[in-house]
């Protein structure tokens, strides 16, 4: 008989940022516990509001199935003496397993024969198991921060006030701290702060609705999305989409209601990014824009209650927002009094990192690196790139960025334009921070791209150079994001750069700051980029194809990306498997370089002569196609050798007794290997399942 498990943990308000992960962790923990308990189950659904985490599991059996458990013990020669009698080791093992030593059996493994104890375990009633499992699950949810309350020993994100735990409608009895599980939940803190009984999940959802709680965050999000779009139209504009903010506010409320307010149009003299940031970050307000994208003097906020007089709520929100926007306008007006270029000197007093110096020193380093990029790729931009790099960190010492750090770069661009700087320079100041997040917008201009690459690479090389290397999830300087940003910019822009040369230039500029050996730093940074590049490409192409290309070479990211795309397409051909097998044999045999040139006179078999002739026929064409970056065509040409390679291995003994003949054959295979060596290492290609 299959039953329903329902759990609700009622709490004080949990921070919105904790809840999405807590939902996922709750499901993972329950799934793992049920699996360990040999309890099959159907769908698992998790729900969350600021005051509750809930879970329902369908189709759980009423009784745990019986099991036959085999426990491995010591080796046979340890468990029994020469006469075949059990030793103390065997007796101790049997005693520990709760079986008679006479019932031990022998099991043959790869390492030899071992004794084993086989015991049957009768299934327990599921409610008994759940009474043990659910407290572990609640305690195991890994919040970023948790707390104790009162004199309790247990910890949770916020104090727990009630627990509903039902299996087939019957309470699963257990305690978590001083809280006993039961069948009573509570309604909305302000609109229906009273208990209500729960029979099952369907009944729970109905009762929540009656008590002004929408427990499903997805439903709350859809409700909010629909309402904010509707309300935005009443202002004469439309909503500025913000999915991240939508998720935040959905986890801040249990029963959302939408309110629209206005602010004075006088504040619109402040750059719209500042106004949007102030409304979004500090107040969690949605912004409204017109058809051209111009910000309108209106905002939309989400309340957690229905109010009898919405105007009171509107006035309160407008008053709070007016104070925030007044601060922004003050900082903007004050900042404009000092030209952006005059602020650069102040960076000498700003410590970037204790071992890497000030922000001014950092700027000087990546400015030189950005200039070298411009000189290599677009020399006509060198002067503008230099100016953008010189100015791009100056807004860090403005009042506006001090108050609203999220608008760094934005304010640099605005203050540069106010000071009369070249618009391309101003744009590059903003763009050098891009991309801000994974998959985010990339610099559109070359000027911004050069400064962005240089700044990010200086950060990576500098941190690696003084031992600040990311470990696990710890990456305080966002080096992974910076490396991915560089990779994405280079690929999107098609910059034919040598990564090794670029890293070398950056390390040259960091001379005197490094606390580690330069060669070690260069190697670590290169491997770090390789890891990010592999992860990025593996999201788009087969992992073995990515590995094969990167193992051959990835110094030029554009070439590496093109090779991966070509090899992935080539791998889809019906005869690829046989081709890969043939060339993997070549790679596996020629592991060490052969320095002796091919001597045709030493050929003894027709198969080796034919392979040599075929190689000579395609080698120049392949080299030309590789040079022209037509890797798919090059692979197609190489594929024509497959028949001769197969024939060679069928008819020729590579490791001949005559050393000269053997070396000559290895030289021939080395030449064949060289055709595709710069495209991919075929030894890395996985066989089809």
pLDDT in tens, 379-404: 999 999 999 999 999 999 999 999 88
d(CA 141, CA 442): 37
Quick one: average pLDDT of 526-555?
A: 93
Best-predicted range by mean pLDDT among 382-386, 570-574, 670-674?
Answer: 382-386
Residues 562 and 680 sit within 8 Å (Cβ to Cβ): no
Q: Is pLDDT above 80 for 686?
A: no
Quick one: average pLDDT of 530-555?
A: 92
Going by pLDDT thresholds of 50, 70 and 90, the confidence category of residue 99 is: confident
Residues 190 and 201 sit within 8 Å (Cβ to Cβ): no
Quick one: average pLDDT of 218-246?
A: 95
d(CA 627, CA 668): 22
Can you give the pLDDT at residue 272? 93
Going by pLDDT thresholds of 50, 70 and 90, the confidence category of residue 257 is: very high
Q: Is 686 helix (H, G, I), strand (E, B) or coil?
A: coil
User: Could you check whether the bond before residue 423 is cis, i.e. omega within 30 degrees of 0?
Assistant: no
Can you give the pLDDT at residue 589? 82
3-state secondary structure 431-449: HCCCCCCCCCCCCCCHHHH
d(CA 256, CA 251): 10
Can you give the pLDDT at residue 688? 56
Q: Is 476 helix (H, G, I), strand (E, B) or coil?
A: coil
d(CA 128, CA 676): 63
3-state secondary structure 146-191: CECCCCCCCCECCCEEEEEEEECCEECCCEECCEEEECEEECCCCC
Residues 201 and 42 sit within 8 Å (Cβ to Cβ): no
Q: Read off the tokens for 469.
A: 């290397």
d(CA 20, CA 10): 16
Q: φ and ψ at 178, to 5 degrees?
A: -95, 0
d(CA 431, CA 450): 10
Quick one: average pLDDT of 565-582?
A: 84
Q: Is 63 helix (H, G, I), strand (E, B) or coil?
A: strand
Q: What is the pLDDT of residues 341-367, one digit of tens each?
A: 999 999 999 999 999 999 999 999 999
Q: Is pLDDT above 90 for 6?
A: yes
Can you give the pLDDT at residue 517? 95
Q: Is pLDDT above 60 for 148?
A: yes
- Residue 340's nearest CA partner among 242, 435, 420, 247 is 420
Going by pLDDT thresholds of 50, 70 and 90, the confidence category of residue 519 is: very high
Going by pLDDT thresholds of 50, 70 and 90, the confidence category of residue 375 is: very high
Can you give the pLDDT at residue 82? 82
Q: What is the mean pLDDT of the chain?
A: 92
Quick one: average pLDDT of 443-472?
A: 96
Quick one: average pLDDT of 9-13?
A: 97
Residues 429 and 388 sit within 8 Å (Cβ to Cβ): yes
Place domain 567-684 in its CATH homologous superfamily: Isoleucyl-tRNA Synthetase; Domain 1 (1.10.730.10)
d(CA 668, CA 612): 7
Q: Is 239 helix (H, G, I), strand (E, B) or coil?
A: strand
Q: Is pLDDT above 70 for 252?
A: yes
Q: What percent of the chain has pLDDT over 70?
A: 100
Q: What is the pLDDT of residues 284-335, one digit of tens each?
A: 999 999 999 999 999 999 999 988 788 888 899 999 999 999 999 999 999 9
Q: What is the pLDDT of residues 277-289, one digit of tens each?
A: 889 988 899 999 9
Instruction: Give CA torsion, residues 96, 98, 99, 104, to 10 deg.
Output: -30
Can you give the pLDDT at residue 521? 97
Q: Is pLDDT above 70 for 243?
A: yes
Residues 458 and 513 sit within 8 Å (Cβ to Cβ): no
Quick one: average pLDDT of 618-642?
A: 88
d(CA 425, CA 382): 11
Q: Is pLDDT above 80 for 212?
A: yes
Q: Read off the tokens for 662.
A: 């053997």
Q: Is pLDDT above 70 for 689?
A: no
258 membership: H or E segment, kind and range: strand 257-262
Can you give the pLDDT at residue 282? 80
Q: Under 8 Å CB-to-CB from 353, ≥6 apart: which residues? A: 462, 463, 466, 468
Can you give the pLDDT at residue 157? 95
d(CA 403, CA 328): 8
Can you give the pLDDT at residue 652? 86
Name residue, tokens 């001014």: 360
Q: φ and ψ at 123, to 5 degrees?
A: -65, 140
Q: What is the pLDDT of residues 15-26, one digit of tens each?
A: 999 999 999 999
> Which segments of 35-152 are extended strands (E)?
44-49, 52-61, 67-75, 105-109, 112-121
Q: Under 8 Å CB-to-CB from 300, ≥6 apart: which residues? A: 228, 231, 232, 239, 258, 259, 260, 261, 285, 286, 288
Q: Under 8 Å CB-to-CB from 109, ≥6 apart: which residues? A: none
Dump the DSSP string for 282-349: IH-PEEEE-TTSPEEEEEEEEESS--S-HHHHHHHHHHHHHHHHHHHHHHHHHHTTS-GGGGGGGGGG
Going by pLDDT thresholds of 50, 70 and 90, the confidence category of residue 687 is: low
Does the global pTM surpass 0.85? no
Least confident of 58-72, 463-477, 520-534, 570-584: 570-584
Q: Read off the tokens for 96.
A: 């520990």
- Residue 6's nearest CA partner among 266, 145, 259, 204 is 204
Q: Under 8 Å CB-to-CB from 599, ≥6 apart: which residues? A: 660, 664
Helices 576-589 and 557-571 meet at what angle, rounded to 10?
Answer: 130
Q: Under 8 Å CB-to-CB from 627, ≥6 apart: which residues? A: none
């Amino acid at each position: 008989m299959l039953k329903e498990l329902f759990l609700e943990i009622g709490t004080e308000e949990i921070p919105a940022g904790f809840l999405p992960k807590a939902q996922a962790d709750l499901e993972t923990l329950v799934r793992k516990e049920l699996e360990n308990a040999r309890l099959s189950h159907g769908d698992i659904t998790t729900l969350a509001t600021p005051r509750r985490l809930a879970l329902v599991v369908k189709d759980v059996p009423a009784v745990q199935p019986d099991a036959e458990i085999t426990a491995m013990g010591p080796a046979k020669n340890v468990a029994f003496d020469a006469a075949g009698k059990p030793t103390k080791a065997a007796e101790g093992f049997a005693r520990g397993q709760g079986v008679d030593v006479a019932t031990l059996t022998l099991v043959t493994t790869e390492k030899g024969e071992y004794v084993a104890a086989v015991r049957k375990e009768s299934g327990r009633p599921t409610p008994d198991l759940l009474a043990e499992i659910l407290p572990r699950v609640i305690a195991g949810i890994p919040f970023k921060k948790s707390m104790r309350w009162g004199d309790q020993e247990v910890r949770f994100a916020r104090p727990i006030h009630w627990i509903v735990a039902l299996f087939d409608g019957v309470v699963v009895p257990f305690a978590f701290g001083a809280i006993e599980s039961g069948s009573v939940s509570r309604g909305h803190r302000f609109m229906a702060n009273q208990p209500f009984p729960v029979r099952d999940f369907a009944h729970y959802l109905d009762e929540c609705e009656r008590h002004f709680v929408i427990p499903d965050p997805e439903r709350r999000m859809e409700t909010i999305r629909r309402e904010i779009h509707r309300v935005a139209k009443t202002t004469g504009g439309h909503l500025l989409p913000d999915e991240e903010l939508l998720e935040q506010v959905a986890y801040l409320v249990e029963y959302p209601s939408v309110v629209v307010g206005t602010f004075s149009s006088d504040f619109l003299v402040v750059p719209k990014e500042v106004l949007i940031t102030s409304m979004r970050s500090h107040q969690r307000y949605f912004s409204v824009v017109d058809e051209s994208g111009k910000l309108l003097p209106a905002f939309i906020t989400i309340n957690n209650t229905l109010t009898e007089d919405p105007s009171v709520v509107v006035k309160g929100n407008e008053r709070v927002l007016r104070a925030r926007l007044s601060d922004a306008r003050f900082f903007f007006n004050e900042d404009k009094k000092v030209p952006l270029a005059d602020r650069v000197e102040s960076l000498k007093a700003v410590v970037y990192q204790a071992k890497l110096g000030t922000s001014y020193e950092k700027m000087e380093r990546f400015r030189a690196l950005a200039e070298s990029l411009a000189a290599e790729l677009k020399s006509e931009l060198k002067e503008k790139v230099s100016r953008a790099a010189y100015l791009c960190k100056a807004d860090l010492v403005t009042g506006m960025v001090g108050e609203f750090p999220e608008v760094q770069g934005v304010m640099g661009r605005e203050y540069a334009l106010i000071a009369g700087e070249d618009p391309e320079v101003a744009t590059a100041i903003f763009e050098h921070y891009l991309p801000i997040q994974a998959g985010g917008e990339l610099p559109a201009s070359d000027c911004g791209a050069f400064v962005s690459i240089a700044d990010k690479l200086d950060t990576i090389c500098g941190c690696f150079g003084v031992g600040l290397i990311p470990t696990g999830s710890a990456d305080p300087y966002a080096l992974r994001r910076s490396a991915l940003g560089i990779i994405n910019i280079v690929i999107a822009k098609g910059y034919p750069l040598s990564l090794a040369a670029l890293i070398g230039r950056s390390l040259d500029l960091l001379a005197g700051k490094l606390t580690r050996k330069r060669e070690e730093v260069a190697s670590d940074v290169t491997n770090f980029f390789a890891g990010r590049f592999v992860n990025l490409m593996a999201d788009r192409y087969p992992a073995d194809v990515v590995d094969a290309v990167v193992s051959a070479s990835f110094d030029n990211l554009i070439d590496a990306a093109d090779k991966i795309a070509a090899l992935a397409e080539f791998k889809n051909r019906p005869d690829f498997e046989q081709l890969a097998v043939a060339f993997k044999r070549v790679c596996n045999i020629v592991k060490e370089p052969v320095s002796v040139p091919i001597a045709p006179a030493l050929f003894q078999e027709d198969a080796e002569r034919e392979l040599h002739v075929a190689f000579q026929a395609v080698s120049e064409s392949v080299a030309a196609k590789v040079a022209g970056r037509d890797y798919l065509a090059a692979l197609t040409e190489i594929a024509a050798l497959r028949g001769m390679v197969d024939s060679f291995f069928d008819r020729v003994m590579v490791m001949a007794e005559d050393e000269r003949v053997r070396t000559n054959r290895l030289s021939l295979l080395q030449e064949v290997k060289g055709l595709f060596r710069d495209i991919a290492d075929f030894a890395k290609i996985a066989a089809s399942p």
